[in-house]
Amino acid sequence: MRWRSPIRGPWLTSMFALPLLVGLPVVAFTGLLDRLAYGREQAIPAADAVGGLQLPWVDWPVSPAWLFRLTEGLHVGLGIVLVPLVLAKLWSVIPKLFTAPERNPVKLLERLSLVLLVGSILFLIVTGLLNVQYDYVFGFSFYDGHYAAAWVFLASFALHVVTKLPTMVRSLRSRSLRAELATPLADTRPEPAHPLVAPDPDPPTMSRRGAIALVGGGMLFVAALTVGQFTDQLRSTALLLPRGRTTAPDSTERGGPNDFPVNRTFVASGIAPAAVGSAWTLTLTGGAAPVVLDRAALAALPQHTAELPLACVEGWSTSQVWTGVRLTDLARAAGVTDPVTAEVRSVEVGSPFSRSLLNRAQTLSPDSLLALRVNGADLSPDHGYPARLIVPALPGVHNTKWVATIGFSRAAVR
C-alpha cells in the first residue's frame, strides 16, 4: 500500500500530538474521578468483573455541588471534541502501522505500545459515543469494558510518551509553526526523508496550515454540537443530545418547570401507576420502629429549596431548583440523630440503579433532599413523582427516583 500525501511527516504528526498530550490525560483523569464518584457501594453493574483494577473506595464529597457535573462534562465533552484530532493523528502515522518493526527490543516495545494505544483509544471512542447515545449494541457492561480499556490506554499512552517524546520535541523544533502557517498551498513541500514521509509524493492538495485549520475547525464544530448538553441556555443547539432538546410530552408543556432532560422515564421503569398514586407512602427505618409518611405528611414537614445540578454519565447535565425535605430532618423523624449512612430504595425493582447508598457527608449535607417539587411545581412522573433523591455532586442515576424507603444507619459501610 502506498501513502502519497506530501504533507504527512513527523512535524505535522507532532503538531497533532502536542494537544493530545495534554487533553487525553485530562479525559482519562476525569473518567477515573467519575468512577470514584460512582463508588463500589453504588452497585455498578458487574463491578467485580474488573477485579484488581477496581479503584479504592473513597467518600465522594458534596462540595462543590457542581463537582460531578464538571468532571463528567470534561470527560465526555472533551473526549468528543478530541475525536477529530485523534483521527488526524492516526491518519498522520498510518503508514507506520503497515510496516514491519525493526527486530530490536526498543522498536518492538514501541510498536506494541502503538498497537495497544490505537486499539484502546478507538475502543474507548466507539463505546463512549454509543453510551452517549444510549445504544448498547455490545454484549458487555459498558462501565467495566470502558474502564478496563482505560487502563490499557493509560499504560500504552505512558509507554508511548516515554519512547516518542524526544522524537516529538525534535520534530517540533525542526520547523517554525509561524512559517508553516504562512506557507500557501503552492509553496507546500514534503518534510525531509523519514519513514512517515512519502518517498514519491503526489502534488499537494492541501497545505499543512490547511490541515491544521481543518482539524481545528472540526473540533470547534463538534464542540458547538456538544456544549448544549452541559449548558441549559444552549440546549437547543445540542444536536447530539441523546434524549432530545425537550422532554415535554406536548408543545403546551415545553419550557415548563419539568422540561429538562431525563434518563430513565416512568414508562421505562415499569412501575404500576397505582404504586406512586394516592396510596404511596415513604418508609423510614433505622430508629426504634419504622416510620411511615404519606406525601401530605412530607409536604407538612419543613421544606428546603436549593439549586442543584443533575449530571448523568452519558454526558448531559442541567441545573434546577429543587424543593423538599432535608435528609437530616427525615433522619430525626426516623429516630436517628447522627446517621453515618443512608440507603435509599425506589419503588422500581430489578434495576441496578433502584438503590443508592449515601456516605456521611451526603447524608448530612443541608442541601441533600427528598425532593417533592422542582422549579416551583410538583415533580412529573418522569422526574420521580411522588418523591426523589437529590444530593449535591452525586451522579445523576444515584439520585434515586420514585423513592419508597430510606434506611438510616449509625454504622459505616465496609
Range name among 93-102, 122-131, 175-184, 255-264 with the lowest pLDDT average: 93-102
Question: pLDDT band at 71, cuts 50/70/90?
Answer: very high
In a domain, 131, yes or no: yes
Q: Which residue has the cell 434546577?
A: 320
Residue 98's domain comprises: 10-237
Instruction: State the average pLDDT over residues 13-38.
Output: 95
Contact 391, 358 (CB under 8 A): yes
The answer to whether residue 296 scores a pLDDT higher than 70 is: yes
**Judgement on whether residues 65 and 137 belong to the same structural domain of the protein:** yes
End of a domain among 183, 216, 237?
A: 237
End of a domain among 192, 221, 237?
A: 237
> How would you write the chain as a 3-class SS string?
CCCCCCCCCHHHHHHHHHHHHHHHHHHHHHHHHHHHHHCHHHCCCCHHHHHHHCCCCCCCCCCCCCHHHHHHHHHHHHHHHCHHHHHHHHHHHHHHHCCCCCCCHHHHHHHHHHHHHHHHHHHHHHHHHHHHCCCCCCCCCHHHHHHHHHHHHHHHHHHHHHHHHHHHHHHHHHCCHHHHHCCCHHHCCCCCCCCCCCCCCCCCCCCHHHHHHHHHHHHHHHHHHHHHHCCHHHHHHCCCCCCCCCCCCCHHHCCCCCCCCCCCCHHHHCCCHHHHCCCCEEEEECCCCCEEEEHHHHHHCCCEEEEEEEECCCCCEEEEEEEEEEHHHHHHHHCCCCCCEEEEEECCCCCCCCEEEECHHHHHCCCCEEEEEECCEECCHHHCCCCEEECCCCCHHHCCCCEEEEEEECCCCC
d(CA 211, CA 334): 64
Contact 247, 382 (CB under 8 A): yes
Contact 154, 28 (CB under 8 A): yes
Q: Peptide bond before 64: cis, by omega within 30 degrees of 0?
A: yes
Q: Compute how many other C-beta atoms are within 10 angstroms of the C-beta atom of residue 103.
A: 7
Give percent above pLDDT 90 in the chain. 64
**Judgement on whether residues 98 and 30 belong to the same structural domain of the protein:** yes
**Judgement on whether residues 271 and 392 belong to the same structural domain of the protein:** yes
270 Ramachandran zone, left/alpha/beta (phi>0; psi -120 to 50): left
Instruction: State the average pLDDT over residues 9-31.
Output: 96
**Domains held by the chain: number:** 2
**Judgement on whether residues 335 and 221 belong to the same structural domain of the protein:** no
In a domain, 30, yes or no: yes
**Judgement on whether residues 274 and 231 belong to the same structural domain of the protein:** no
Is pLDDT larger for residue 247 or for residue 316? 316
**Judgement on whether residues 146 and 273 belong to the same structural domain of the protein:** no
Most confident range, picked from 53-62, 108-117, 126-135, 304-313: 304-313
pLDDT, tens only, 109-143 = 878 888 899 999 999 999 999 988 878 888 888 88
In a domain, 315, yes or no: yes
pLDDT, tens only, 317-358 = 999 999 999 999 999 999 999 999 999 999 998 887 899 999
Report pLDDT for 46: 41
CATH of the domain at 382: 3.90.420.10
d(CA 385, CA 62): 24
Average pLDDT over the chain, rounded to whole?
89
Question: pLDDT band at 43, cuts 50/70/90?
Answer: very low
Give percent above pLDDT 70 in the chain. 92
d(CA 132, CA 136): 10
Report pLDDT for 52: 62
**Judgement on whether residues 389 and 285 belong to the same structural domain of the protein:** yes
Alpha carbon of residue 143 to chain centroid: 11
Contact 310, 263 (CB under 8 A): no
In a domain, 245, yes or no: no
Q: Which residue has the cell 487533553?
A: 23
In a domain, 96, yes or no: yes
Question: pLDDT band at 235, cuts 50/70/90?
Answer: confident
**Judgement on whether residues 134 and 226 belong to the same structural domain of the protein:** yes
pTM exceeds 0.85, yes or no: yes
The answer to whether residue 50 scores a pLDDT higher than 60 is: no
**Judgement on whether residues 164 and 277 belong to the same structural domain of the protein:** no
**Judgement on whether residues 202 and 329 belong to the same structural domain of the protein:** no
**Judgement on whether residues 226 and 342 belong to the same structural domain of the protein:** no
In a domain, 279, yes or no: yes
In a domain, 57, yes or no: yes
Q: Which residue has the cell 484488581?
A: 52
Report pLDDT for 51: 55
**Judgement on whether residues 233 and 284 belong to the same structural domain of the protein:** no
In a domain, 326, yes or no: yes
Which of 259, 313, 249, 306 has its CA nearest to residue 44?
A: 313
Instruction: State the average pLDDT over residues 193-199.
Output: 87
d(CA 47, CA 24): 25
